[in-house]
Structure 1
């Protein structure tokens, strides 16, 4: 028995009429897929559309499902088949037909197994060279889709595509019109309310608010002491690491003293030999030799004194009570150091200064004496008052941006604060309009851009 007995033109008109003349209160998309399923004797017909130009295809109607959203796995298989047809922009069938240019993908093969074994056909819906949806049909494998049926479906797709686009646009307009209009007594007041809202927004935009400059901040010691190597040598013992509190005179680091002891023994031997030579010159009454040996005695004593001083300087002591903030040498035992090389940095545990990095676009708003607040990452719940004490005139680059360092002092006690803490500071910079605060740096960027382009 032939599947289609209706002439092509008549079937096409009936298909369009099924969509356009759907009964009031019913879904035209469902009426369309039901008509296609009946006229083509299909077990299932599904329709998917793109709600927006670049969105994914969404399965909107299935002939044997009242609510497609309730059948998750089946809808996912239908969606995958529609996406394959949309990607290929041509009709795909399973089992594949030699007359078609492309073979079906895995999604069509998987969909063909849903009803046990069935034939699948997907026809893309194209408009203005862009696929806006797809039709997917399934029926028994014993009655595969014939060439004339596929041609009729493709012809119907050409007529249905613009109608479906208009249908989606109409549904969006109906959704907007369905929004509540509010009570009847409010409708005459709408123009006045709009004017009042505009006036209120204008007043708020002209409202003066406090201007603040936000800058990253770091806590440093009020004054820091850098400890340098007193002589050339090797690190022997490390007594303190960064973060440790130290007292004045506490050992921090020892240098290897073996070379110094050898130099001291050599100086003592030279001194003994020179003194013996002096005694022999005195015994011989040799005035010239006496002068020479006395000079050697002085030289030996100087070398011995230098060796003893180097021996005493082999230990580096804390210059004050404070906190070691830099110089972790615990993994550098045995490493060589040269005289004058910085080894550690010690800062007082009490008394701090703040170093803020202010963007060059905001530094002009910061003045000496400006007040602000600081919150450090280690204690975000504690707000500390600060006062700007100095704006350095030298630019500092950070993360590819240009800025300036601003020094500030804490205005009160800061329990638990330590050098090295980092946080964010907000500095008061006068008053500005709320509109300027909302626009931020946009006006300045536009001015610079205008000047760059047009001068």
Structure 2
């Protein structure tokens, strides 16, 4: 590309001079950084001579973006973009093949942008060009520093305004007072004729407060129009300014225009109030006739809206009754459940629905569980047949015995001596009887005969006692109680219990049923018994007797219910304990599992209610 100055004729030189003066005039007058940047780039292009293209990249708060290019609407090529990125990353000037030169712009030690220039041919002396750019860079860096200083000032003013409004709202006791204080303070801060705030309810805006007005009529025509204008902004989810200014995003202002015609005002501004991406209302500001909102006013209004919305929303929540809080929470959960997203909640809800449906139709056997003990159907006691001493013991508790098998034997030596004495007396009385007959002494014979009968009876009695000195099993049985191994030689009295035995394969089951479940037990019901020593086997039982007497057991009142063991097994022994479950009826599973809790609640309510 040829240098425009080299190609200019005599007439064109004067035109270029006039153009330079126009650029320098704009350069000294521009206060906007973007306009200043475009003029600065144009001046640098005229100083550098022939160029293919040029671009100025600055930090604008939204990242590094091109603020000025030449030719106009030129989009930087990949070579230019790569060179600028390298200069910004390394914070130094960059030269690519002598044709692309990038000058970094550093303000207070921080890279704030870069100016890139692409020449048609490689430049023999890039240093000269960078010296020229360094002189010009002082102007743009000064402009950047001035813009930063102005931005900081505006930011401080905006923050001060926001803090004043929030401070006024925080001092209020409730939502209405907070809203009135906030809009009144904002109206004074921005010198507005009126500021109002309204809350969105069922897609309609309801006025909550108007500046400097403690009580206002919502049913007035102006209030209705004002609420409609605020709804116009909430529907568009964006700030609405009437009249609309050039450069602002397009927004429908029909209702704002109607409001302005109804009441002579200056500018009208409505800012939507957002809380967690949800519109909760709007903030409306009005200027006096002939007055307009400055850019700073717009910034303050939007900043106040962003900060005030969460505060008012929190106060509204705090002012609600417990019933409304519960209803709102329930409605919020329902919307989350039925609306988009929240996959986890939907899965949980589906699982709960499936569980409820299952328990609504699923049925199962309701059974009463009870601690149980196996007992002998018949218990026989073996007692001492006479006073004596234990001589031998053959079995102890837990042993299985057969019919006719001895369990123990009493010492019979005293009985043998007594038997010998009575037999001796019997022989002597028989001799006396014979002698009385030989002497024909009837009286002596009768006396001797009586003594003989007495001796014979006594001898027979002693013989029977000797025969009973051994305790014999009357049938096949299990020894339940009795252990004489440590009592050999101990004296026992007649009738003293020495053993308890129970017939084999003839048992009953004693169930300890809690009183709260006793009403469910009926004679003839069947069930299953599982013993602690035989947990892998179940034995059928049948309820045969219900004892009305209650006993205390481990802090519980239980009734003793007897059942017959229908299944026999050589492994079962009296005294074994386990758990029996009696089948009552078929019920819903939820009823089966919840019945104990329901019974406890009923009893607790009866106990606690007056």
Change (3 A) 1:288 1:445: same
Change (3 A) 1:452 1:273: farther
Question: In structure 2, what is the equivalent of residue 223 of structure 1?
Answer: 378
Question: In structure 2, what is the equivalent of residue 289 of structure 1?
Answer: 444
Change (3 A) 1:320 1:415: closer
Q: Deviations over 1:354-377 (max 9, x none)?
A: 222212221221122222222111
- Unmatched segments (≥5 aa) in structure 2: 1-335
Question: Matches of 1:290 and 1:255 in 2, distance apart?
Answer: 39
Question: In structure 2, what is the equivalent of residue 341 of structure 1?
Answer: 496
1:396 Cα offset (Å)? 3.6
From 261, 265, 271, the counterpart of 2:416: 261
1:237 Cα offset (Å)? 0.2
Higher-Rg structure is 2
Pair 1:298-2:447 in alignment: no
Pair 1:389-2:549 in alignment: no
Question: In structure 1, what is the equivalent of residue 553 of structure 2?
Answer: 398
Question: In structure 1, what is the equivalent of residue 530 of structure 2?
Answer: 375
Change (3 A) 1:268 1:447: same
1:197 Cα offset (Å)? 5.3
1:247 Cα offset (Å)? 1.7
> What's the Cα RMSD here?
3.1
Question: Matches of 2:459 and 2:412 in 1, distance apart?
Answer: 15
Question: Matches of 1:219 and 1:413 in 2, distance apart?
Answer: 12
- Unmatched segments (≥5 aa) in structure 1: 1-181
1:305 Cα offset (Å)? 1.0
Question: For 1:415-454, what aligned pairs fall within 5 Å after superposition?
Answer: 415-452=570-607, 454=609
Question: Matches of 1:453 and 1:249 in 2, distance apart?
Answer: 64
Check the 8 A contact 1:357/1:403 in 2, yes or no.
yes
Q: 2:425 is paired with a residue of what secondary structure?
A: helix
Check the 8 A contact 2:392/2:408 in 1, yes or no.
yes
1:199 Cα offset (Å)? 4.4
1:195 Cα offset (Å)? 6.0
Check the 8 A contact 1:204/1:434 in 2, yes or no.
no
Check the 8 A contact 1:358/1:404 in 2, yes or no.
yes
Change (3 A) 1:406 1:297: same
1:235 Cα offset (Å)? 1.0
Q: 1:187 is paired with a residue of what secondary structure?
A: coil
1:283 Cα offset (Å)? 2.9
Change (3 A) 1:270 1:199: same
Q: 1:235 is paired with a residue of what secondary structure?
A: strand
Check the 8 A contact 1:229/1:341 in 2, yes or no.
yes
Question: In structure 1, what is the equivalent of residue 505 of structure 2?
Answer: 350
From 478, 482, 490, the counterpart of 1:327: 482
Question: In structure 1, what is the equivalent of residue 397 of structure 2?
Answer: 242
Question: In structure 2, what is the equivalent of residue 133 of structure 1?
Answer: none
1:216 Cα offset (Å)? 1.6
Question: In structure 1, what is the equivalent of residue 515 of structure 2?
Answer: 360
1:255 Cα offset (Å)? 0.5
Higher relative contact order (CA 8 A, sep 6+): 1
TM-score between both structures, scaled by the size of structure 2: 0.41
Question: Matches of 1:408 and 1:355 in 2, distance apart?
Answer: 6
Question: Matches of 2:370 and 2:565 in 1, distance apart?
Answer: 16
Question: For 1:10-409, what aligned pairs fall within 5 Å after superposition?
Answer: 187=341, 196=350, 199-207=353-361, 208-409=363-564
Question: Matches of 2:454 and 2:570 in 1, distance apart?
Answer: 56
1:238 Cα offset (Å)? 0.4
Bigger helix share: 2
Question: Matches of 2:499 and 2:586 in 1, distance apart?
Answer: 45
Q: 2:523 is paired with a residue of what secondary structure?
A: coil
Aligned residues: 274
1:222 Cα offset (Å)? 3.9
TM-score between both structures, scaled by the size of structure 1: 0.54
Question: Matches of 1:226 and 1:282 in 2, distance apart?
Answer: 51
Q: 1:414 is paired with a residue of what secondary structure?
A: coil
1:254 Cα offset (Å)? 0.1
1:257 Cα offset (Å)? 0.6
